């Protein structure tokens, strides 16, 4: 099981399936959990994994992919850092006859036959969930509610869709106003730094912080506390991912709600690789199911999270 019958040089022999995976980076706790999940699932499935970390650089992802093509891996999978600019390299993969799976974030290409399937979350829905939480939480407020949005990596699928879903939901409520929307690249350090500078300019207008991921929210919490305000009280905080650290902060009342985004995609990926190698056809889209958590559930959940 989970092996390939060579039809070239070593005919007749069986060897493990080889998967080349281009991970976009290690910018967040979500990403690290994603990487561990993929490594463990590959091991479990007996799939030989060639893993490259691109350090949030698209050109490094191109390099990794070209290496995988040279190595004649059986399947390539990529978690693309941004959506644009993939068409030429995807054509190279196709010309090499290697099937491609897109994981986590999506690529924006005109020819969808360039990849087999896209496995990942519904980021637009995550944005809508965050928006709905803000509407509920601020329900009693009739005056202006000032919102700051910490955006992830510009041009990445989760940033684009989490921003759009959120806006589509809050737009019915004229008093909910996004005062500032700034990228902090999904990292703790930038989350802290960007929040600090926003606070310096408009601290008394901010009622809500919507952060596209937990790491930026955790950084922002430090900035808010250093500024002398109370996160979760003076500024309502909603974040996306649902990492253990965010749950700890939610249990302390410093984060008010977390929209879950599941990084544990390793088993889904390995299953897709196996099915592909067995010649089975895959659905074009594989979506991971996710929930929303609020403060009342935090104490029960904290420590139980798998990431």
Binding site for ligand GYE (CB under 6 A): 27-28, 30-31, 104-105, 158, 186, 213, 215, 240-241, 261
Q: Are 132 and 166 in contact (CB under 8 A)?
A: no
Non-local (6+) Cβ contacts of 60 within 8 A are: 52, 54
Could you tell me the CA-to-CA distances from 160 to 106, 151, 154, 169, 299 in Å, in that order? Answer: 11, 9, 8, 15, 31
The candidate with the shortest Cα–Cα distance to 305, out of 286, 290, 283, 285, is 290
How many CA within 13 A on the CB side of residue 284? 4
In the complex, minimum distance from the CB of residue 158 to ligand GYE, in angstroms, rounded to a whole number: 4
The partner residues of 147 in beta bridges, in order of sequence, read 178, 208
In the complex, minimum distance from the CB of residue 267 to ligand GYE, in angstroms, rounded to a whole number: 17
In the complex, minimum distance from the CB of residue 137 to ligand GYE, in angstroms, rounded to a whole number: 21
Q: Are 30 and 213 in contact (CB under 8 A)?
A: yes
**Between 191 and 231, CB nearer to ligand GYE:** 191
In the complex, minimum distance from the CB of residue 307 to ligand GYE, in angstroms, rounded to a whole number: 10
In the complex, minimum distance from the CB of residue 100 to ligand GYE, in angstroms, rounded to a whole number: 18
Q: Are strands 3-5 and 14-16 parallel, antiparallel or unpaired?
A: antiparallel
In the complex, minimum distance from the CB of residue 210 to ligand GYE, in angstroms, rounded to a whole number: 13
Q: Are 211 and 188 in contact (CB under 8 A)?
A: no
**Between 99 and 191, CB nearer to ligand GYE:** 191
**Between 96 and 264, CB nearer to ligand GYE:** 264
- Indicate the length of the chain as a whole number: 307
**Between 106 and 138, CB nearer to ligand GYE:** 106
**Between 54 and 240, CB nearer to ligand GYE:** 240
Q: Are 298 and 262 in contact (CB under 8 A)?
A: no
In the complex, minimum distance from the CB of residue 258 to ligand GYE, in angstroms, rounded to a whole number: 11
Q: How many CB atoms lie under 10 A from the CB of residue 299?
A: 12
**Between 117 and 213, CB nearer to ligand GYE:** 213
Q: Are 185 and 25 in contact (CB under 8 A)?
A: no
**Between 207 and 262, CB nearer to ligand GYE:** 262
């Amino acid at each position: 099981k989970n092996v390939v019958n060579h039809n070239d040089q070593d005919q007749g022999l069986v060897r493990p399936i080889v998967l080349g995976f281009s991970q976009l980076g290690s910018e967040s706790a979500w990403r690290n959990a994603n990487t561990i999940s993929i490594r463990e699932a590959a091991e479990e499935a007996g799939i030989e994994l060639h893993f490259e970390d691109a350090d949030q650089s698209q050109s490094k992802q191109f390099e990794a992919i070209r290496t995988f093509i040279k190595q004649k891996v059986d399947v390539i999978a990529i978690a693309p850092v941004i959506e644009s600019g993939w068409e030429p390299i995807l054509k190279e993969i196709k010309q090499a006859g290697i099937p491609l799976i897109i994981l986590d974030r999506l690529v924006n290409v005109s020819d969808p036959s360039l990849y087999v399937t896209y496995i990942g979350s519904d980021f637009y829905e995550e944005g809508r969930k965050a928006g709905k939480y803000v509407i509920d939480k601020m329900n009693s407020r009739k005056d202006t509610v000032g919102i700051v949005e910490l955006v992830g990596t510009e041009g990445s699928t989760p940033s684009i869709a989490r921003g759009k879903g959120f806006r589509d939901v809050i737009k019915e409520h004229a008093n909910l106003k996004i005062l500032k929307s700034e990228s902090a690249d999904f990292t703790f350090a930038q989350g802290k730094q960007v929040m600090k500078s926003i606070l310096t300019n408009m601290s008394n207008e901010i009622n809500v912080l919507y952060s596209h991921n937990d790491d930026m929210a955790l950084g922002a919490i430090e900035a808010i506390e250093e500024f002398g305000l109370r996160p979760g009280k003076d500024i309502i905080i909603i974040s996306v991912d649902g990492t253990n650290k965010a749950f700890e902060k939610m249990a302390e009342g410093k984060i008010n709600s977390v929209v879950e985004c599941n990084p544990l995609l390793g088993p889904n990926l390995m299953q897709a690789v196996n099915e592909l190698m067995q010649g089975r056809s895959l659905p074009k889209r594989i979506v991971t199911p996710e929930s929303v958590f609020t403060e009342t559930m935090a104490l029960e959940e904290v420590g139980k999270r798998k990431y």
